[in-house]
Amino acid sequence: MASNLLDVMLDHTRGNQSSRGMHFWNTSSRDYDHVPYAELVMRSYAFGSRLRDAGHGPGTVCMIACHSPYATLVAFYGAISAGLIPMIFPMPRALGSHEALVERIRHWGLRFDRPAIVVLEDNIQEKFHREVPAAVAVIRIGESPLGDCDIRPSAALDRMPGRDDVAFFQTTSSSTGDHKAVAISHGNILANVHGIRTAVAMDENERMVSWLPLFHDMGLVGTVLFCFCNRYSLYIMTPTQFIKRPVLWLRGMSEHRCTITTAPNFGYDYCSRISEKDMAELDLSGVKHFFIGAEPIRMSTIGEFCRRFSSSGVRRETIRPAYGLAESTIITTISRPENRARFVFIDPESIGMNEEIEVVGESGFEQSELEGPVPENMVAACTAGTAIEGMNLELVDEDGAPVAGDGHAGEIVIHGSSVALGYVDGRQGLIDEFDDHRVNTGDMGVLIDGELFIIERIKNIIIRSGENFMVNAMEQRLADLLEVSHENVAVFETDIHDPAGPIIVLIEKHKGLGPSEVASLLARLPRESFPVDLILFSRARVIPRTTSGKKRHFFCRKLFHSGDLAFQSRIEVTPDLIAAALAKIAEIPD
């Protein structure tokens, strides 16, 4: 049995080498380019040998900034085979600008005791390539799986890593400039992919198709490493290819008889763009597991996807909600095939830490009501199933004490073999380790009949159009501009289950702003990097707080909906107001 990722790589090159492997979508040929796992591993060994020959030894951080999934994975596995620590970065399109990627390369490239290296593609010149810091060595790699490629029969690493050794750094980020990464061990990977497989009783012959980005944990661990470790063939395309032609994703399932796929809520929503003509060609009856997670799951999304593609063979019982985060490698809980997946309708007035929630109804995935609206003034919470093998969860109150029992809401705390080693901090010995493999997720949930239901995000992150906005950073930015304490600013969403719902700012101890002041403020806060819909001004001590003084963002939302949030004035951030603000930019001093 493998004890690290190198064991898995070695196993792919031993004995009877299978044709199973990666299939990379080629836009030019409109077909997949096949690379068996054994071939991919030996190409990776050759790249790892290049790294060692260039003087880059074990422990060096290897940043990967490539468009091509093939180039990204050869660099990733090659770095691991040579003892380096890979980090996969989003490209400029995903980040919004080349400057954002340059800033990220500078941040991580110079953060550690020795400079990191960066892997870039051959035959591609981009603006950000010219701005890599001089201290960061650049290594080039071929972007295409076609043609002659160097291979090597064995890894360049002198010793095999242990289960607790770092395999890679999983980066997370936000459009406000915050940088964070978690250290994932070899043991974390093996435990998580094993836990996913056993949770839904997969067999030896599964196939998967994916468009998820490899810089995201769902794309890297939940698809690529999951298939690699289980010897499942994987058909892969880029997010851009999916966005341009979403039918490619479903066509991959249909034509190649794939049995597994995974995507966030957005991906299933986006399939509404597929034409009736394209739908007529699809046979999705062979798909046994449609995993969904990574963002709030909407009842309307599940209902519409199942209704629209039922004629193509999609069965409602194959939808598998899951819950996870980078800190748990990827998956923590999964809805099991033998359990009835459902939404429960919760009275929002009953939601609170260690409060017994009031469930006023439910809708199973098998019911036609799933296609209808959520009952008025109710919160629809989707099942996330039960913990995978090796993982445990508990719910705690704001003081860290266990909640009263089943049916009581609390913060989700996870612990177990999939919990990452800790956060990466190059200034303090590389890793700030998690205590006893435990992580407070910052998410509010409730256990009902032993299954986890996600209610709220109490961790301060707002997601819009795939971008993460750090609430603390937003609050600090507003506080600086208004010259108030960040303790007197609270940013919150009106509905975490609506990815386009309004975002509200509550500012305490402030008299409000005049028209010219409003324009100046909005001109300093471009909407694409600071999405706010409503600004409220109030007297002191209106923001609800815990006994220790922490802001209770989820309770702000509750007070807003009940009409009990006391404020004196408001500014609605309308398109006309934004246009007026932009006209003021020239008047604002640098």
DSSP-derived secondary structure for 183-238: EEEHHHHHHHHHHHHHHTT--TT-EEEE---TTSHHHIIIIIIHHHHHT-EEEE--
- Helices marked H in 494-548: 515-523
Q: What's the DSSP call for residue 244?
A: H
Supply the pLDDT for residue 18: 76
Mean pLDDT for 11-35 is 91
- Confidence class for position 152, pLDDT limits 50, 70, 90: confident
Supply the pLDDT for residue 174: 40
For residues 500 and 195, the model is more confident at: 195
Torsion of CA 127, 129, 132, 134, to 10 degrees: -120
121 touches 73 (CB < 8 A): no
CB atoms within 10 A of CB 517: 12
| Those residues with Cβ within 8 angstroms of residue 284's Cβ, 6 or more apart along the chain or in another chain | 250, 253, 254, 309, 312, 313, 314
Angstrom distance (rounded) from CA 44 to CA 25: 20
Angstrom distance (rounded) from CA 441 to CA 301: 25
Q: Is 285 exposed, middle or buried (0-12, 13-18, 19+ CB in 10 A)?
A: middle
Angstrom distance (rounded) from CA 320 to CA 459: 24
Q: Is the pLDDT reported for residue 180 higher than 90?
A: no
Q: Is the pLDDT reported for residue 587 higher than 70?
A: no
Supply the pLDDT for residue 41: 96
Mean pLDDT for 436-455 is 92
Q: Is the pLDDT reported for residue 522 higher than 80?
A: no
Cα distances (Å, whole numbers) of residue 243 to 239, 240, 269, 275: 6, 5, 12, 14
Looking from the CA of 455 toward its CB, the CA atoms found within 13 Å total: 34
CATH of 1-21+34-161 given 1.10.760.10, 3.40.47.10, 3.40.640.10, 3.40.50.12780: 3.40.50.12780
Q: Is the pLDDT reported for residue 530 higher than 80?
A: no
Task: Decide: helix, strand or coil at residue 569.
Answer: strand
H or E element at residue 266: helix 265-270
Supply the pLDDT for residue 375: 74
Q: What is the mean pLDDT of the chain?
A: 88
Mean pLDDT for 398-424 is 93
Angstrom distance (rounded) from CA 463 to CA 477: 18
Angstrom distance (rounded) from CA 521 to CA 530: 12
Amino acid (1-letter code) at residue 128? F
H or E element at residue 34: strand 31-36
Q: Is 290 exposed, middle or buried (0-12, 13-18, 19+ CB in 10 A)?
A: buried
Instruction: Give me the residue label for tokens 């094993």.
Output: 194
Q: What's the DSSP call for residue 469?
A: E
Supply the pLDDT for residue 586: 53
Supply the pLDDT for residue 483: 84
Q: Is the pLDDT reported for residue 176 higher than 70?
A: no
Supply the pLDDT for residue 175: 34
Cα distances (Å, whole numbers) of residue 424 to 117, 152, 415, 432: 17, 32, 19, 6
- Bridge partners for 33 per DSSP: 24
Which pLDDT tens digit goes with each residue over 318-369?
A: 999 999 999 999 999 999 999 889 999 988 778 888 989 999 988 888 876 6
Looking from the CA of 354 toward its CB, the CA atoms found within 13 Å total: 9
Q: Is the pLDDT reported for residue 105 higher than 80?
A: yes
Q: Is the pLDDT reported for residue 40 higher than 80?
A: yes
Looking from the CA of 428 toward its CB, the CA atoms found within 13 Å total: 7
Q: Tell me the torsion sign for CA atoms 122, 124, 129, 130.
A: positive
| β-strands 137-141, 166-173 pairing | unpaired
Task: Decide: helix, strand or coil at residue 554.
Answer: helix
For residues 529 and 463, the model is more confident at: 463
Q: Which CATH superfamily is domain 469-587 in?
A: ANL, C-terminal domain (3.30.300.30)
For residues 373 and 339, the model is more confident at: 339
For residues 148 and 233, the model is more confident at: 233
Mean pLDDT for 530-545 is 88
Q: Could you tell me what percent of the chain has a pLDDT over 90?
A: 57
Instruction: Give me the residue label for tokens 């109710």.
Output: 378
Domain made up of 342-457: CATH architecture: Roll (2.30)
Q: Is the pLDDT reported for residue 451 higher than 50?
A: yes
Cα distances (Å, whole numbers) of residue 242 to 68, 361, 546: 14, 36, 44
For residues 244 and 519, the model is more confident at: 244
491 touches 504 (CB < 8 A): yes
Q: Could you tell me what percent of the chain has a pLDDT over 70?
A: 91
Phi, psi of 484 (to 5 degrees): -130, 170
Q: Which residues of 56-86 are buried (b: 16+ CB within 10 A; e: fewer)?
A: beeebbbbbbbbbbbbbbbbbbbbbbbbbbb
CB atoms within 10 A of CB 136: 17
Q: Is the pLDDT reported for residue 124 higher than 80?
A: no
Task: Decide: helix, strand or coil at residue 290.
Answer: strand
Q: Enumerate the domain spans of the chain.
A: 1-21+34-161, 342-457, 469-587
